[in-house]
Every structure is written in structure tokens, then in C-alpha cells.
Structure 1
Amino acid sequence: MQDFGQQALIHIVVHVMFLAAVWWALQSFKFDLFVKNPKSPQAMLLMIFVTIALAYLVSSFFLQYLESSLMLRYIWQ
């Protein structure tokens, strides 16, 4: 049961870490080229949704890669 708790903590930390990294990376992206009013609440909400979606994709890839690499030790058993 303790392993599930540790795994949940790792997932939460990784998701939050990549959420912050994607938000930071998107700050250099010019959203004003794609939206009518870049300072509007709708544009900010769009940026939040894009950040969440990209962070989820990147963190899911990272966690699946980590899980797969940890399972490689069972090949030779």
C-alpha cells in the first residue's frame, strides 16, 4: 500500500513540475498573433487550457517512459 502512495506522490510532483515548465516556456510564445485581444479573460483561459494540455502530454510521456524503464529489469528474470 505504501508503494501506491509513493507512486501517487511522484505523479503529482511530476505533473506540477511539468505544468510550471510548460507555463514558463509558453511565456515566450506570441499568442497575440492568434487571438483578437491577448489581454482578455478568454485569451488567458485559452493559455491556461493549452498549458494544462501540453503539461499533461509531456508529463504522461515522462511517467510512462519512467515506468517502462523500471520494468526492463524483469526481462531477464
Structure 2
Amino acid sequence: MNSDLTNSFTSAVGVNGLLYIVVSLICIALAWWALQQLKLDLFIRHPKGPQGKLLHLLLAVVLGRFVAQFLIDYITWSQMIRYIF
């Protein structure tokens, strides 16, 4: 009985971890796609160079991570609502 509970718990944690990874990667990809419209040449001397591309990548990761964290928090909070009633 205890083994079944442990297995179901670890399975749920694994599924949540996989969900968080997928949501984070999707949000980073969407941020990368959205940042394609940003004119970095207004702020950077050589936006096509390696430093400009790295900055673009870092901006996508930071923005995507913030959006993913918001979505993950929202999912978690919405699952907690059922314990109110």
C-alpha cells in the first residue's frame, strides 16, 4: 500500500516537472519569435554579430521564463481553488 502511494507521488512529481519544462520551452520560443520584431540596431552597434545574437537569446530566455513562471503559478493556484469548498 505504501509503495503504491510512493509510486503515484513520484509519478505526479515527474509529470509536473515535465509540464513545467514544456511550458518554459514553449514560452521561451514564443518570446524568441516575438523579439524578432525588435529593432536591436537602435540599441546595439552590431546586432547581427555574436554579442547581439547572444543578447537576443538572453532576452528571449528571461522574458520567456517570466511568462512561463506566471503560467505555472496560475495553473498551481487554479488547482488550489478546489480546496476552498
Give TM class, smaller chain: over 0.9
Which amino acid in 1 is paired with 2:76?
Answer: E
- Structure 1 gaps of 5+ residues are none
Which of 64, 72, 76 aligns to 2:81? It is 72
Which amino acid in 2 is paired with 1:69?
Answer: S
CA distance in 1, matches of 2:78, 2:39: 36
Deviations 1:6-27 (A, max 9, x none): 0011001101111111100000
CA distance in 2, matches of 1:26, 1:74: 39
Q: Report matched runs for 1:1-77 at 5 Å.
A: 1-76=10-85
What CA RMSD, in Å, does the superposition of the two structures yield over aligned residues? 0.6
Q: TM-score, normalised by structure 1?
A: 0.95
* Deviation (angstroms), 1:40: 1.1
- Structure 2 gaps of 5+ residues are 1-9
CA distance in 2, matches of 1:71, 1:60: 16
Q: Which has more radius of gyration?
A: 2
SS in 2 for 1:8: helix
